[in-house]
Amino acid sequence: MTERIELGDIVIALTRKAIKNVHLSVHPPDGRVTMSAPAGTRPEVARAYAISKLGWIREQQARLRGQARETPRQFVERESHYLWGRRHLLTVVERDASPAVAVDHKRITLSVRPGTDRAKRARIMHDWHKALLHKFIPSLITRWAPKIGVKVNAYFLQRMKTKWGSCNPRAGNIRLNTELVKKPKDLIEYVAVHEMVHLLEPTHSERFVAILSKHCPAWREARAELNHLPLGAETWNE
């Protein structure tokens, strides 16, 4: 069961777990704060620890609030769009043919029927993003699942507001945010590995950190880079 620690305007969600040390996290995009503490931690001890970290919490929240954000995309000529971590300019072509998207090293070309509105253009781009990820993700799973020692029964792609990824250890499934297509491929790999490790260890326990560190020694740097990149207009965690 999750408890609450309230320190003025800061609310911390406290979860007790079978761990040895306290873990405090400030999550993008809005600075949500969580704390994991050993099962036997007394409430006053957890609160005192949180108070001792107030300065750090506020610093992290301020950084997140100042982080660059994309404005909502309008899918119009010469608008900036990111793919695999690189900026491309959008070219829109109206023609009486089935919608299509193509990319070269500088441009993304969106072909639509005349009069296609913003919502329809957004759906076409989102479907294209999913198709690109469906070509990329299976190779990551094939490469990493045997190394980690897990079996991924299925993976799913969807637009997610608060997470880069999630998993269902019981079903052996992982789920990845379609916004990842805008990020560098090594960061997508980090998220996929992170979720696959969760199939072995569902919580962010010391065991989880040890396994992730073994397979992805630079995971902290990857996480920091991911969370410093511009956020989507539809906001985000983890």
Domain count, the chain: 2
Which residue type does 227 have? Answer: N
224 and 125 within one domain: yes
Residue 113 inside a domain? The answer is no
Structural domain for 8, as ranges: 2-65
What gap in Å lies between CA 219 and CA 36, rounded to an integer?
Answer: 20
Model pLDDT, residue 187: 94
123 and 56 within one domain: no
Both tokens assigned to 60? 């992290």
Q: pTM for this one?
A: 0.73
Residue 15 inside a domain? The answer is yes
Residue 91 inside a domain? The answer is no
> What average pLDDT does the structure give for the chain?
90
Mean pLDDT of 134-142: 98
Residue 110 inside a domain? The answer is no
Residue 12 inside a domain? The answer is yes
What gap in Å lies between CA 77 and CA 61, rounded to an integer?
Answer: 35
